[in-house]
Amino acid sequence: MQRVGVFVCWCGSNIAGTVDVQAVSDALKNEPGVVFSTNYQYMCSQAGQDIIKNAIAEYKLTGIVVCSCSPRMHEATFRKTAAAAGLNPYMVEIANIREQCSWVHKDILTGTEKAIILGKAAVAKVNLNAPLTPGETPVTKRALVIGGGIAGIQTALDIADAGFPVDIVEKNPTIGGKMAQLDKTFPTLDCAACILTPKMVDVAQNENIRIFSFSEVAKIKGFVGNFDVTIKKKARYVKEELCTGCGACTEKCPMKKVPNEFNLGMDTRSAIYIPFAQAVPKVARIDPDACNMLKKGKCGICSKVCAAGAIDYTQKDQYIEEKYGAIVVATGFNPISMDKFDEFAYSQSKDVITSLEFERLTNAAGPTAGKLLRPSDHKHPHTIVFVQCVGSRCDSCAEKGKEYCSKICCMYTAKHAMLTRDKYPDTEVYVFYIDVRTPGKNFDEFYRRAVEEYGVKYIKGMVGKVTPEGDKLKVQASDLLANRQLQIDADLVVLAAAIEPDKSARPLATMLTASMDTNDFFTEAHPKLRPVESPTAGVFLSGACQGPKDIPETVSQAGAAASKVIGLLAKDKLTGNPCVAHSDEMMCNGCSTCERVCPYGAITYEDKEFRMPDRTTKIRRVASVNPAVCQGCGACTVACPSGAMDLKGFASAQIMAEVDAICK
C-alpha cells in the first residue's frame, strides 16, 4: 500500500476563489492510502515545495498528489521536488483543479465537488504508480547522410566541422546532385558550379567525411544512437582507389554513343565515363549496359590505356556494414515525367524541353557549350515560350500531376527568361503563368526586373496545346487579362515541370520506419517546431526530400539538420522517456498485432524458452519493446488482444482506477 500525501494549492485566489481548498484537502484525507493532506497558498513556491519535501520525510510518503494547475504547467516542477526529497519523480500525480475546474466553473459548490473528484482520481492513480527510471543508451558518434546533393553536402560539412565523422552515401557516381546540373542561381545569378564545386572539394578533402559514391543503403536496423546500416557499393568496374581521373580511358573508349544522363540525354558519352569535369570523386565508371567488354567480352581498350591499372571488369557489388548514431535523409527531388502532359508535345518534338534541360542548354559545360541552340536543328530560337505549373497544383481528380506547388519554378523561369533576354536581346520571350509566386528575399524584385528591365512578356494564362508543324511549334494559349486566345509560332517551348521526391525515398522510408505524406515527401516531427526531424528518433531531414525547396532554403535546412545531429552526437548517452510500453511475456501471444500499429518500429519479436507450470519448457514467440525507440503513445496496448502490452505511467489499471474514482 502506498503512503500518499495530498497537497492542495490555492494558487492565490485562482483556485481558492471557486474551490473550497480546505474542504478538498479534508475530503481527500479519507481516501485509501492517504496519510497526509494539506493545502497551501502557492504550492509551486519555494515554501510550498518545502512543505512537500518535509512531508515526504516526515510521513515516509511513497506517492504524492498535487491538486493544482495543469500538469503541463508544473508537473516537471513537482517531480523535481519529489526527486530532491528522495522520492522517485514518477510517483507524482497532478490533479488539474485550476484550468479544468476553478477557472471554468463559477459556483463554489460545484467547483469543490469536482475538485474532490479529480483529486480522488489522482489518488486512485498514484496508488498504482510504480517508480520509473528512464533507460540510457550509448550513442555511436558517427552520422550517415543519405544523398550527396547540396543538402547532403552542407549537412555533412557542418557535422564534420563540429568534429564528428560523417559518411555520405550517394547513388550516382559523383556527388553534386541537381545543383551540379544548374547553370546560374537565382536571385543573384552566380554560377551554380562556382559555388557548388568548391564545397564538393571540401567534402572530398575533409578528414571527417567519407564518400560512398555509386552506393545505396541496403539495410537499416537499430534505433536512435545505434543504427546498423548496410551500404551497398555498386560495382563500377573501376578501382576507386587507383583511378586518377585522367580521362584517357574515356577518350579511347570506342563506344561513344551512349546518351549522357548528366546532360539529360541531349548529347552522348562513352561507355566508360566520368560524369563531368568536376566530379567528386573524380573516378571513372563503366556502364555495363553499353560496354562491349562487359556485354560480349570483346574490347578491353580502357584496361590497356589505363596507366594506373584501375580497370577491373570482374568487380562485384560490395556490402559494407557500419554503425551510426544519427541518419540524415537528403534524397532530393526529380522533375516529374512529362508523359501525361503531351498536349505540350514533349514526346513529339525535341524542341519542347523541360526547365532542367534548358539549364543544360545554357550551361557552358552543357551539350551546346552554353550557346542557346535548340535541340532539333541547333538553330538559335527566336521565340521562346515558357509554361509554368506543368503538373503542379493539379487537383487529385484531374488524375495527373501533383497537388502541391513546386515552389521553385516561378523563380527559375524568371531567371531563364531574364538570362535569355540578356544574352539574346533579339529573342521574344513569353512566360505563361497562373500566379507568380515570389516570397523570398529579393525574389519579387528579381521577377520585376525580368519584366521591366529585360522585357520578358509575362502573360496570365495557360498554354492549351502545342502543335509542332514544320520547324515551328504552334502554341495556342489563353491571355486571361486581355480575354483573348493567342497563337504563337515558337521555336522553343520550355516546360516548368513539377518536382517530386526521388524514387529511392519510399523504400528508404520503409527501412527507416519514417513516415511520408501521400506525395512521398518525408513527414517532419512537427511542421512548425521540429521541421528538420523525422518523427522517428535519430532520423533527420535535409532538403527537398521533405518538400519542394530552393537552394538557400535547402542549405539552411541542411545546417539545421546538422545542428540537430551534432546535438545528438554530442551526448554520450541518451536518456529515454520512461513512460514506454512493455509486454508481459507470459501473456504475449506473439501475434505481431502490436508491431503493425507501432509508428516507430519499436517492437520486435524473439523466440523465448519458457518454463511451464507443468515443468516442461516451451518456446514461444514474444514481443519485446525497445525502450529507446518507444515514444509511449500506447497504440500497441489497445491493439494487443491479450492485454499483455501495457504502458508505464499510463497503465490500463491506472486509467481504469481513474475511471472508477470519477464515476463513483
Residue numbers 479-498 binding other proteins by CB under 8 A = 479-480, 483, 485
Is 468 an interacting residue with respect to other proteins (CB under 8 A)?
Answer: yes
Q: Find the binding residues for other proteins in span 167-206 (CB under 8 A).
A: none
Query: Of 575 and 642, which has the nearer Cβ to other proteins?
Result: 642
Query: Of 245 and 535, which has the nearer Cβ to other proteins?
Result: 535
* Stretch near other proteins under the rule CB under 8 A, chosen from 76-84, 101-109, 136-144, 320-328: 101-109
Of the residues 397, 426, 441, 529, which one makes contact with other proteins according to CB under 8 A: 397
Give the three cell numbers for residue 207.
Answer: 578528414
Query: Of 205 and 487, which has the nearer Cβ to other proteins?
Result: 487
Q: Find the binding residues for other proteins in span 200-239 (CB under 8 A).
A: none
Is 506 an interacting residue with respect to other proteins (CB under 8 A)?
Answer: no
Query: Of 6 and 493, which has the nearer Cβ to other proteins?
Result: 493
Q: Find the binding residues for other proteins in span 107-126 (CB under 8 A).
A: 107, 110-111, 113-114, 117-118, 121
Max CA separation in the chain (angstroms): 98
At 609, is the secondary structure helix, strand, or coil? strand
Of the residues 96, 129, 181, 263, which one makes contact with other proteins according to CB under 8 A: 96
Is 652 an interacting residue with respect to other proteins (CB under 8 A)?
Answer: yes
CB of 592 to other proteins, least distance (A): 6
Mask: binding to other proteins, 236-265, rule CB under 8 A, as x and -? ------------------------------
Q: Cα–Cα distance between 19 and 497 in angstroms, integer?
A: 64
* Stretch near other proteins under the rule CB under 8 A, chosen from 256-264, 356-364, 390-398, 550-558: 390-398
Q: What secondary structure, in 3-state letters, does 385-444 show?
A: EEEEEECCCCCHHHCCCCCCCCCCHHHHHHHHHHHHHHHCCCCEEEEEECCCCCCCCCHH
Burial of 405 (0-12, 13-18, 19+ CB in 10 A): middle
Nearest to 236 by CA among 225, 223, 249: 249
Mask: binding to other proteins, 537-576, rule CB under 8 A, as x and -? ----------------------------------------
Helices (DSSP H) in 601-651: which residue ranges?
A: 635-639
Report the 10 Å Cβ neighbour count for 47. Answer: 11
Is 45 an interacting residue with respect to other proteins (CB under 8 A)?
Answer: no
Is 615 an interacting residue with respect to other proteins (CB under 8 A)?
Answer: no
Of the residues 251, 342, 572, 606, which one makes contact with other proteins according to CB under 8 A: 342
At 115, is the secondary structure helix, strand, or coil? helix
Q: What angle do CA 294, 297, 301 make, to 5 degrees?
A: 80
Residues in the chain, total: 664
Of the residues 53, 210, 252, 393, which one makes contact with other proteins according to CB under 8 A: 393
DSSP string, 309-363: --B-TT---EEEEEEESEEEE---EEEPPSGGGGGG-TTT-TTEEEHHHHHHHHS
Is 12 an interacting residue with respect to other proteins (CB under 8 A)?
Answer: no
CB of 405 to other proteins, least distance (A): 10
Query: Of 247 and 535, which has the nearer Cβ to other proteins?
Result: 535
Nearest to 123 by CA among 213, 235, 267, 3: 3
Residue type, 482: A
Query: Of 149 and 401, which has the nearer Cβ to other proteins?
Result: 401
Is 127 an interacting residue with respect to other proteins (CB under 8 A)?
Answer: no
Residue type, 663: C
If binding means CB under 8 A, how many residues of this protein chain bind other proteins? 102
